[in-house]
Amino acid sequence: MTQAKPMRADARRNYERLLKVAVEAFTEHGEGASLDDIAKRAGVGSGTLYRHFPTRQALLEAAYVDRVEALASRADELAKELPSGEALAEWLYEVCVGTIQVRGMKALLGSAVMDGSQVALTACATSMKGAAKRLVEAAQREGTLRADIEPIEVLRLAHGVSTASELADGQGKFIRRYLSLLTDGLRPAAARGE
């Protein structure tokens, strides 16, 4: 395995400046922010941007990897604090809120729930899928989640909940209600009293 060559100081500064400006641009304009504008605002040419981040997806991931990692870690914190089913529901709520509050996250997390054959598995997707898997399997062992539910399905449904809530009012006021409807439907029939 070949080790990555460390970046020169000027390349490191350009990389960091591009990330800072990208976060600002994605916050202002969402994931569709102009990459050329990001390069210009960072004081570098488009070629420099594309050398560091060959795709929009790569730039989104680099800009939000810390937030996604924090969300994944939050799953483990909740698993220690709450019963498994509640931990899953609370984590899904935090994921939904994050996708609405942090512009650009929805596209990044949306790519995490796509079929693996369609996109390369990114570090962000791996973190989110791993967190979902741990919480889903714990809730299934606890008996509060149907055994036939796959973790990727739960992530896809949560992505849909955040989209539906955003469409309803633009701010996510309905996330808890929609997640409640979702999680009620994901419980085993015996847990629902059927």
Give the residue with greater pLDDT, 189 vs 89: 89
Tens-place pLDDT, residues 63-74: 888 888 999 999
Question: Residue 127: which domain range?
Answer: 63-186
- 67, 49: one domain: no
Q: Which residues contact 77 (CB under 8 A, 6 or more apart)?
A: none
Q: Which range is least confidently modeled, 36-45, 104-113, 179-188?
A: 104-113
Share of the chain above pLDDT 90, in %: 45
Q: Check pLDDT > 70 for residue 194.
A: no
Q: 137's torsion region: left (phi>0), alpha (psi -120 to 50) or beta? A: alpha
- Residue type at position 1: M
pTM: 0.81
Same structural domain for residues 84 and 159? yes
> Contact at 8 Å (CB) between 134 and 115?
no
Regarding whether 167 and 88 lie in a shared domain, the answer is yes
CATH number of the domain enclosing 110: 1.10.357.10
Same domain, 32 and 114: no
CA dihedral 137, 143, 144, 149 (to 10 degrees): 50
Helix, strand, coil shares, percent, the chain, to 5: 75, 0, 25
Same domain, residue pair 77 and 130 = yes
Residue 16 lies in a domain: yes
120 shares a domain with 89 = yes
Residue 113 in any domain: the answer is: yes
Strands (E), the chain: none
Q: Per residue in 132-159, pLDDT tens?
A: 999 999 999 999 999 999 999 999 998 8
Residue 87: what residue type?
A
User: Which helix (H) or strand (E) segment is 118 a member of?
Assistant: none
Which candidate, 135, 91, 87, places its Cα nearest to that of 109?
Answer: 91
Listed range (88-102, 114-128, 176-190) with the worst mean pLDDT: 114-128
Of the two residues 187 and 189, the one the predictor is more confident about is 187
Given a cut of 90, whether residue 76 has pLDDT beyond it is yes
Confidence of residue 174 (pLDDT cuts 50, 70, 90): confident
Containing 64, the helix (H) or strand (E) segment is: helix 56-81
Q: Count other C-beta atoms under 10 Å from residue 129's C-beta.
A: 18
Binned at pLDDT 50, 70 and 90, residue 57 comes out as confident
Same domain for 81 and 151, yes or no, is yes
Residue 21 counted as domain residue: yes
Q: Which residue has tokens 């054959």?
A: 117
In eight-state DSSP terms, residue 146 is -
User: To the nearest whole percent, how much of the chain has pLDDT over 70?
Assistant: 85
pLDDT confidence bin for 119, thresholds 50/70/90: very low
- Dig out the tokens for 15 from the structure: 């990389």
